[in-house]
A and B are shown apart, each in its own frame.
Chain A
Amino acid sequence: MSTVFIALQTNEDTRPIIEAIAHDNPQAVVHRQPAMVKIDAPNRLVIRRESIEERLGREYDLQELQINLITLSGHVDEDEDAFTLTWNS
């Protein structure tokens, strides 16, 4: 098992995104550090556009993640609907 992670800036933009990630990835652990939130998950983490849109109340383009992204770990696969991080271990 390897840990994939994504870290986002702590701000109003990311609050619903973090909620959506925690909801869609029950294995994920959310660490709140000064000015940033780091989310770890075993082997795989999925960020789903629809889940974010539900919480945000507007259309969301997953590429908007770029603005508040700090770092990540794992192989990235991105399309319109999901942004996925994985390790093959």
Chain B
Amino acid sequence: MEMKVAKKKLGLKERYRVMTRDLGWEPSYHTKEALYPYVGYEGIKIHDWEKWEDPFRLTMDAYWKYQAEKERKFYAIVDAHAQNNGHLNLTDARYLSALKIFLQAISPGEYAAHKGFARAGREFPGVGTQVACQMQAIDEIRHAQTQIHALSNYNKYYDGFHAFSDQRDRIWYTSVPRSFFDDAMSAGPFEFMVAIGFSFEYVLTNLLFVPFMSGAAYNGDMATVTFGFSAQSDEARHMTLGLECIKFLLEQDPANVPIVQAWFDKWFWRGFRVLGLVSTMMDYMLPKRVMSWREAWNMYGIENGTALFNDLARYGIRPPKGWDDAEKAIDHMSHQFMLGLYQWSFGTSFHSWIPSDDEMAWLSKKYPTTFDKYYRPRWDHIKKLAAAGTPYKNYGLPKLCQTCQLPTVFTEPEDPTLICHREVEYKGERYHFCSDGCQHIFENEPEKYIQAWLPMPQIHQDPIRGDLGAWMDWVNLKDGQDNGDYVGSNDQRNFDAWRGLATSNE
């Protein structure tokens, strides 16, 4: 009897080798130094690029197959959401503020990460690294596109979604993540990998995409859950790539350890400052809460971060410098930032509001040592002012931190009643900082940060020249429409009216 022998398919490890390593070649008429000019200047020493391995062993053919599947799932849900008036299934239209911040501040960051990885893939000599960076560059542009596409459904009905790209470039709170990405993209390729792979992917995206997206599900927003989880499935691969990159650097040469440690210190704090926005979205902007910012931090910050640093301790890596200051800030940051957003709500392209009694009860339960003591009295006072017809608005321009670009709204680690403010003089100019962490980052690279574009000085320059109305035109924000209190807004009026129509026969 003749046996039919099936042709054996390549195993995963072999296929990975064939589809990545075998695509590389040795340059013959240029030197490697000329081909990869940026790979040496950060002081990182690499002896063997072959040691770099993608633990997922994902090859381009499999990548396209699974990404296509993710896209099909995504569009099936986004289409269903649009066809079913999904926007009227939200718990409350206040939730839209979180989406507006997401679109203005986070989605452009995805696009920036795309550009950064396209560049990093060109600058690294190792083939495994090049392929992984190429996939990540495509992932990131997919995230920007799917987010914009999912949220465009809301733009048909609500204010504040229409000018996210102008606002990404020009408005004050978006300059925080923008400066984070600009800083990473203007760094060398290895620092870029640590900034995005470790800080953005490992520290930030778990906190942003996982509990917040689970929250979106709780609040009836299937479109956002879908783009969030679809993006995060890529992020799981990115985190793994980031961790692999860090291990690779630490194993290649002991001289790399202090360089990587300094990047950890810097980028942990840069990432933590971007989380100020996320903490506020979680504690204040989800009408139906899943978990508090504190609970999310315990799970994805402390538990997961500690696991990582314990693991890397064998290379001589310690937790980042700002780790203890971060812990001291967790129970305060969302409240301090929301109070900031409320008092400057004339300058935001989303609505803010005074939390309801019910929400304040939730906040005091979740923040038993801080909310009633420090923040409830302020909200009560603000509530009184609003009831008297004199709502609290702060038309003063805040000092911005030269490093993270946040207004100096956060307090001293040891004293939650005192605003934290640091000052440094450099070449005859004074620079302001929100924290020791941001001051240290500046002092390590002053020539980089003195070039930063800051939204507040811009207000005094052309074409604005100190005029608030001209500023609103310039950032593409319509006064009385896109900004201000949620109570009395178009969004509130429209949502209530349309939902009434959707649930009755009138």
- Nearest residue (CB) in A for B299 is A38
Q: Looking at the assembled complex, report how far the CB atom of A68 sits from the nearest CB atom of chain B, in whole angstroms.
A: 7
| B66 interfacial contact with A, CB 8 Å | yes
Expressed in whole angstroms, the Cα–Cα distance for A75 and B314 within the complex equals 14
A-B pairs, 9 with minimum CB distance: A2-B307, A35-B217, A76-B55, A34-B217, A66-B66, A69-B233, A34-B214, A34-B218, A89-B310
| B70 interfacial contact with A, CB 8 Å | yes
| A30 interfacial contact with B, CB 8 Å | no
Q: Looking at the assembled complex, report how far the CB atom of B282 sits from the nearest CB atom of chain A, in whole angstroms.
A: 13
- Nearest residue (CB) in A for B63 is A66
Within 8 A of A (CB), among B201-248: 205-206, 209-210, 213-215, 217-218, 225, 229, 232-233, 235-237, 239-240, 243, 247
| A73 interfacial contact with B, CB 8 Å | yes
Q: Looking at the assembled complex, report how far the CB atom of A74 sits from the nearest CB atom of chain B, in whole angstroms.
A: 7
Q: Which residues of B contact A78 (CB under 8 A)?
A: 12, 55-57
Given A33-B290, A35-B214, A78-B57, A71 and B235 contact (CB-CB distance below 8 Å): yes
Q: Which residues of B contact A87 (CB under 8 A)?
A: 307, 310-311
In the complex the two chains form, is B62's CB within 8 Å of A79's CB?
A: no
In the complex the two chains form, is A71's CB within 8 Å of B62's CB?
A: no
Expressed in whole angstroms, the Cα–Cα distance for A36 and B217 within the complex equals 10
In the complex the two chains form, is B303's CB within 8 Å of A67's CB?
A: no
Q: Which residues of A contact B214 (CB under 8 A)?
A: 33-36
Q: Which residues of A contact B209 (CB under 8 A)?
A: 70-71
Given A3-B303, A68-B233, A88 and B311 contact (CB-CB distance below 8 Å): yes
A36 touches which of B58, B229, B239, B303 (Cβ 8 Å): B229
Given A63-B62, A75-B247, 5 additional A-B pairs, CB 8 A: A5-B304, A35-B225, A71-B209, A76-B240, A88-B314
Q: Which residues of B contact A80 (CB under 8 A)?
A: 11-12
| A22 interfacial contact with B, CB 8 Å | no
Q: Looking at the assembled complex, report how far the CB atom of B298 sits from the nearest CB atom of chain A, in whole angstroms.
A: 12
In the complex the two chains form, is B236's CB within 8 Å of A70's CB?
A: yes
Expressed in whole angstroms, the Cα–Cα distance for A75 and B56 within the complex equals 10
A75 touches which of B11, B12, B243 (Cβ 8 Å): B243
Expressed in whole angstroms, the Cα–Cα distance for A71 and B308 within the complex equals 15
| B306 interfacial contact with A, CB 8 Å | yes
In the complex the two chains form, is A67's CB within 8 Å of B73's CB?
A: yes
Interface centre among B57, B205, B218, B229 (most CB of A within 10 A): B229
Interface residue SS majority, chain B? helix
Q: Which residues of A contact B206 (CB under 8 A)?
A: 71
| A51 interfacial contact with B, CB 8 Å | no
Given A35-B214, A79-B12, A80-B12, A71 and B236 contact (CB-CB distance below 8 Å): yes
The number of A-B residue pairs with CB atoms under 8 Å apart is 95
| A20 interfacial contact with B, CB 8 Å | no
- Nearest residue (CB) in A for B313 is A89
Within 8 A of A (CB), among B284-315: 290, 303-304, 306-308, 310-311, 314
Q: Which residues of B contact A76 (CB under 8 A)?
A: 55-56, 240
Can you list 25 A-B contacts with CB-CB less than 8 angstroms, sorted by A residue number?
Answer: A2-B306, A2-B307, A3-B303, A3-B307, A4-B307, A5-B304, A34-B214, A34-B218, A35-B225, A36-B214, A36-B229, A63-B62, A71-B210, A71-B236, A75-B55, A75-B247, A76-B55, A76-B56, A78-B12, A79-B12, A79-B57, A80-B12, A87-B307, A89-B307, A89-B311
In the complex the two chains form, is A9's CB within 8 Å of B229's CB?
A: yes
| A12 interfacial contact with B, CB 8 Å | no
| A46 interfacial contact with B, CB 8 Å | no
Q: Which residues of A contact B70 (CB under 8 A)?
A: 66-67
| B69 interfacial contact with A, CB 8 Å | yes
In the complex the two chains form, is B55's CB within 8 Å of A7's CB?
A: no
Q: Which residues of A contact B58 (CB under 8 A)?
A: 63, 66
In the complex the two chains form, is A72's CB within 8 Å of B240's CB?
A: yes
Expressed in whole angstroms, the Cα–Cα distance for A8 and B66 within the complex equals 15
In the complex the two chains form, is B307's CB within 8 Å of A72's CB?
A: no
Q: Looking at the assembled complex, report how far the CB atom of A72 sits from the nearest CB atom of chain B, in whole angstroms.
A: 5
Expressed in whole angstroms, the Cα–Cα distance for A43 and B57 within the complex equals 22
- Nearest residue (CB) in A for B205 is A71
| B13 interfacial contact with A, CB 8 Å | yes
Q: Looking at the assembled complex, report how far the CB atom of B243 sits from the nearest CB atom of chain A, in whole angstroms.
A: 7
Q: Which residues of B contact A70 (CB under 8 A)?
A: 209-210, 229, 232-233, 236
Q: Looking at the assembled complex, report how far the CB atom of A61 sits from the nearest CB atom of chain B, in whole angstroms.
A: 8
Q: Which residues of B contact A77 (CB under 8 A)?
A: 55
In the complex the two chains form, is A64's CB within 8 Å of B66's CB?
A: yes
- Nearest residue (CB) in A for B55 is A76
Expressed in whole angstroms, the Cα–Cα distance for A5 and B299 within the complex equals 11
Expressed in whole angstroms, the Cα–Cα distance for A8 and B14 within the complex equals 28
- Nearest residue (CB) in B for A40 is B303
Q: Which residues of B contact A33 (CB under 8 A)?
A: 214, 290
Q: Which residues of B contact A63 (CB under 8 A)?
A: 56, 58, 62, 66
Expressed in whole angstroms, the Cα–Cα distance for A88 and B310 within the complex equals 8
